[in-house]
A and B are shown apart, each in its own frame.
Chain A
Amino acid sequence: MSTMYEVLPGPEHFLPPAAASMGVRLPDPGQAHIHGKIVNEDDAMEAAARQFLSAKVPTIFPGPLVLWAWNEKAAKKATAIRHLYETIKESVTPSQQAMLIPMPDYRPKYPKINPEIEINPNHPNLTIWHNKIDACMFVGVHCHQANLSLKIIRGGTYCYTIAMCAQAGHEDAMVSFRDATADKIMRLADWVKKLKGSVEPPKD
């Protein structure tokens, strides 16, 4: 009998498999997945909010699709993301540090990126290591670049990954939503607010 592959925090070391190749399926509309298992969207909302509240450095990585106001929807999502970030910041204890770090584009930047202020999909681990990020959410990153980054993160770090995907979701994240809208991001912020104080903060 085969056991199901679970999408869990790494380090999974060099070349972690694409979760899809290990049999992980994408959720249908209204659903999400946690560690590769299909769940109701609300279950995933709760799981993501708990991760933000229990991490030392909960971080949101907005990508080009939401950093640039290229249409009205994108601008609305940016507002919602900022709101989610502010909510996390207000909901964590002083020993935790919420961060909002952009992925402005996907080019390989030479000679190096500045990991304090940005993340690059070709070596996302640099930003995660530098800031000791232990839980992160991708939003507004094109599918291919998100998949690439999520795998690299699983390969080389212990960071917990969440994908707020505008399309069909990401197998390679530990929690993935699909069909992201500004409202959905606001709902996640509501979950964070709701669970504030009820989640054990990280131990040093």
Chain B
Amino acid sequence: MSKERIKIAPEMFDIMPEEYQDLVDRATYGKEGRGWKDIGTSKELIEEHSLCAGCPESMAFRYILASLPAPEDTVMVGSTGCTSLVFPHVGVHNIHSLFGNQNAIASGLKRALSVRFPGQVKDVVVLAGDGATVDIGLDMTLQAWFRQEKFTTICFDNELYANTGGQESGLMQKGFVAKMAPVGKTFEKVKLPEIARESGCHYVVNCTVSKPNLVEKVIKNAIHVAREIGPTYLQLYTPCILEIGKNSMEGLQEMRDSEKPTERFAYKEYVSDEAKELLTELAAKEKERKAAAKKQLAGKA
């Protein structure tokens, strides 16, 4: 269905830069069961990125974009920060909002889309840094959850304000000293996943982006629950290697170290009863789909 909407006019095809031709010919818009395994075999929905070399945010972006269930029917809402430098390279509709306003913009957008396209799937996904989500935008974040707005909020938690050189954020660990926060954080990391649960989110996960299959699972779950039931929240550790003094190759290990059972990014999940029911249903359908596809493949062989 979706590829119908991204056709280049035939007379213009040859003059289009290669990356656009690739997007139309080899991207996975509209592909059922798209996921992280498409990376490397199809055109990704991210062209390049302008993050620091080895920044885990770039991995996170790639996995998330590969996992969106319907990228052609998704609008992402970003905010100022390192993530906002990536959005211009992303092959999914996106809106840059004033720092901190992302969940307010997404609320209006989601409602407008439901009025404009009744009965059609239109996913709204917020993706912003911890400064935007937890500090300057906390009001907007919480109010959207209280109101049960049906979209997903993703926070790239790098535990500080990376884009402006390392100021203290609410998600920074207690005692941490950053370049622009020399005194050290005096209070605990804000427990936003718990707050999200108490504020009405139906699916909440706190984890790192070290495992692509896990990122795919939580993204799909969060978006499906938001589509059908209500707000969902993902807090993903994407360490700022620049600010914590790591090299380009060390981001992955940093995430692995921080997701050990006793660490602050040990996998944590909350699923409301309604969401559990929906996810069980969807899992059964997915199983059926895979079995049918397998059967079809065997029939062809």
Residues of A participating in the B interface, judged by any CB pair closer than 8 Å: 62, 66-70, 74-75, 78-79, 81-82, 100-102, 104, 107-111, 114, 117-118
Give Cα A108 to B301, complex, Å: 47
Give Cα A30 to B88, complex, Å: 38
The reply to whether A110 and B9 form a contact with Cβ atoms under 8 Å apart is no
10 nearest CB pairs, A to B: A78-B9, A82-B11, A107-B88, A69-B9, A69-B7, A110-B50, A78-B11, A67-B12, A104-B20, A78-B12
- Interface residue B245 (Cβ < 8 Å from any Cβ of A): no
| B12 CB contact (under 8 Å) in A82, A109, A114 | A82
| A68 CB contact (under 8 Å) in B7, B48, B50, B88 | B7
- A68-B6, A104-B20 given; A110·B89 CB < 8 A: yes
Q: A83: nearest residue on chain B (CB-CB)? A: B11
- Interface residue B10 (Cβ < 8 Å from any Cβ of A): yes
The reply to whether B12 and A66 form a contact with Cβ atoms under 8 Å apart is yes
- A107-B88, A109-B88 given; A117·B17 CB < 8 A: yes
Q: B5: nearest residue on chain A (CB-CB)? A: A70
The reply to whether B50 and A81 form a contact with Cβ atoms under 8 Å apart is no
Q: A60: nearest residue on chain B (CB-CB)? A: B15
The reply to whether B17 and A62 form a contact with Cβ atoms under 8 Å apart is no
- B88 partner residues in chain A, CB cutoff 8 A: 107-110
A-B contact pairs, 21 of them (CB 8 A): A66-B9, A66-B12, A67-B9, A68-B8, A68-B9, A69-B7, A69-B8, A70-B5, A74-B9, A75-B10, A78-B9, A79-B9, A102-B17, A104-B20, A107-B88, A107-B89, A108-B88, A109-B88, A110-B48, A110-B89, A117-B17
Give Cα A69 to B11, complex, Å: 10
The reply to whether A110 and B16 form a contact with Cβ atoms under 8 Å apart is no
- B15 partner residues in chain A, CB cutoff 8 A: 100-102, 117
Give Cα A81 to B12, complex, Å: 9
- B11 partner residues in chain A, CB cutoff 8 A: 78-79, 81-82
Q: B19: nearest residue on chain A (CB-CB)? A: A104
Residues facing A in B22-61 (CB within 8 A) are 48, 50
Task: Name the residue among A69, A78, A101, A114 with the largest chain B CB count within 10 angstroms.
Answer: A69
Interface residues of B, count at CB 8 A: 17
Give Cα A111 to B89, complex, Å: 11
Q: How far is the CB of A123 from chain B (nearest CB, A)?
A: 13
- A70-B5, A110-B85 given; A118·B17 CB < 8 A: yes
Beyond the given A68-B9, A78-B10, A110-B89, could you list 12 further A-B residue pairs with CB under 8 A, ordered by the A residue number?
A66-B9, A67-B9, A67-B12, A68-B6, A69-B10, A75-B9, A75-B10, A79-B9, A100-B15, A109-B88, A110-B50, A111-B48
Q: How far is the CB of B17 from chain A (nearest CB, A)?
A: 5
Q: How far is the CB of A141 from chain B (nearest CB, A)?
A: 14
- A69 partner residues in chain B, CB cutoff 8 A: 7-10
- A101 partner residues in chain B, CB cutoff 8 A: 15
The reply to whether A104 and B17 form a contact with Cβ atoms under 8 Å apart is yes
Give Cα A101 to B12, complex, Å: 10
Q: How far is the CB of B107 from chain A (nearest CB, A)?
A: 25
Give Cα A124 to B16, complex, Å: 16
As a 0/1 sequence over residues 48 to 85 of chain B, the CB contacts with chain A under 8 angstroms (1 = contact) are 10100000000000000000000000000000000001
Q: B48: nearest residue on chain A (CB-CB)? A: A110
Q: How far is the CB of B152 from chain A (nearest CB, A)?
A: 23
The reply to whether B10 and A114 form a contact with Cβ atoms under 8 Å apart is no
- B12 partner residues in chain A, CB cutoff 8 A: 62, 66-67, 78, 81-82, 102
